Structure 1
Amino acid sequence: MLNSDTRLLVLAAHPDDEVLMAGGVLSKLRVIGGAAMVAIAATGATSRNPVSNDAAIRMLEKETQDAMTCLGWSDIRVARGGFPDNQMDTVALLEIIKWVESVIRDFRPTLVITHCLGCTNIDHRLCFEAATVAVRPSSEQHIELWTAETPSSSGYRRPWNFEPSLYVSLKEDEIKAKIAAMQCYASESRVTPNPRSPEMLNALSHVRGSEAGCSFAEAFMLIRGFA
């Protein structure tokens, strides 16, 4: 589990996914004293802003930095793959794997959190596919792999739905930090009853907490762990 020796890499398909998947864990790890890095595979902008891509990308980069500051990580490293937004299936999977492997070689994580296979978004699923290859155990690396739910994307692909098997208990201020971080993404924030709204993110943290016998939690699927 999380401790001061943890080196966490959050592999997100788009800006804001890192918060939706693991904002609470990032906030908790900052307090514990571990290390963290975020890798964002796609631009997050090109599919919706064909005219002003550069401006939209710069805006999202600033929003990511603001979000990380809300989580206590103003100094966090963010790697960007620059893959086409919602079109990562137009890129050879090997190229995505090579990029993830380069990030892993650079940061040397002990834990990778990425999207679950049950997401509707193709970019999310390709991050999962790339991560499962990049973190394969060897004599030189033993990296835990957790997959996360992404509200509004996971939960709609039966029979591959997200089924949590691991919970991280959180404090109320860590959930508040997650919600504040999500609000930094002005173009991605939503109002109730959307799953990304502040109220629904808070409600989900209560539901996951109730499943684990605590007040608040984020849930994950343990793909590979080491004891």
Structure 2
Amino acid sequence: MKVLAISAHPDDETLGCGGMLLRHAAEGDSLFWLVVTETHEPQWSAETIQVKATEVKRVAEAYGVQQYFKLGLPSIRLDTLPLADLIGRIRDVIQEVKPEVVYLLHGGDVNSDHCVVFTATMSVLKTFYMRKWGVRCIFCYETLSSTEAAPPQPHRAFVPNVYRDITPYLEQKLEIMGLYESETHSDPWPRGPSAIRALARYRGGSIGVDYAEAFMLIREVD
């Protein structure tokens, strides 16, 4: 089975679905990864940009990703770009990979890049196009420091309806998150190891396992 994780920023997928990516890999599935944005000058230094590029490569290797795609669009500026261009580039990747399962950012996040990527991807993955490209399921994942920080509006709420046991993979997920030295937080901040573990424990408690990840099933086509 082919699995595609779509993230606006490199660390999104580890926070949201890293445990499931490791589980997919352990079960013999093929992993693909699409990173939409990257840091840019002058907002970031050339040295920082290189550090972040190296981090992405290391994380892809740690997951055993078969192929990763970097669109290279400017981080924190997606809402200033033509949406049609992003739709076309995401469509190109999905056409090439033809994944059966897609993990996607939650559309209600407070992060504007996350919202744009969600909107563009859902435009690509209309029901009839899902069948055309072999996509069976679209799951949205939560991203610490963005999903829970959204304003208290019903249409922005993350309401999980799918839970997956990641108990055997949590420690490795935390190790991979540690590869993002430029992005990780120290405790007690949202992207610190204690918060990541606490969320996984809370989601696990919801289904009677030690650790889990939770998702919103957006669409499933048989």
Partner of 1:190: 185
Percent identical among aligned pairs is 28
The unaligned stretches of length 5 or more in structure 2 are: none
- Supply the AA of the counterpart residue of 1:61: A
Q: Confirm whether residue 218 of structure 1 aligns to residue 213 of structure 2.
A: yes
Residue 46 of structure 1 corresponds to 40
Map Cα deviations across residues 13-55 of structure 1 (whole Å, 9 max, x no partner). Answer: 0111121111101110110001111100010x227x63524x4
Report what 1:145 is aligned to: 138
Confirm or deny: 8 A CA contact 1:13 1:42 kept in the other structure: yes
TM-score computed with the length of structure 2 as normaliser: 0.91
Counterpart of 2:76 in 1: which secondary structure? coil
Answer yes or no: is the 8 Å Cα contact 1:42–1:83 preserved in 2: yes
Q: Secondary structure at the match of 1:101?
A: helix
Take 2:124 and 2:139, find their aligned partners in 1: how far apart are those partners? 13
2:152 alignment counterpart: 158
Report the equivalent of 1:25: 20
Q: Which residue of the partner structure matches residue 66 of structure 1?
A: 58
Please state whether the residue corresponding to 2:132 is helix, strand or coil. coil
The residue number in structure 1 matching 2:164 is: 168
The alpha-carbon deviation at position 82 of structure 1 amounts to: 1.1
Please show how residues 66-145 of structure 1 align to structure 2 within 5 Å.
66-71=58-63, 73=64, 75-138=65-128, 139-143=131-135, 144-145=137-138
Q: Structure 1: which amino acid aligns with 2:48?
A: A
Change (3 A) 1:176 1:69: farther
Alignment-mate amino acid for residue 124 of structure 2: A
How many residues align? The count is 216
Task: Please state whether the residue corresponding to 1:140 is helix, strand or coil.
Answer: helix
Aligned-residue Cα RMSD (Å) equals: 1.6
- Distance (Å, rounded) in 2 between the aligned partners of 1:69 and 1:178: 13
TM-score by length of 1: 0.89
Does the 8 Å contact 2:167/2:209 carry over to 1? no
Where do 5+ consecutive residues of structure 1 fail to align? none
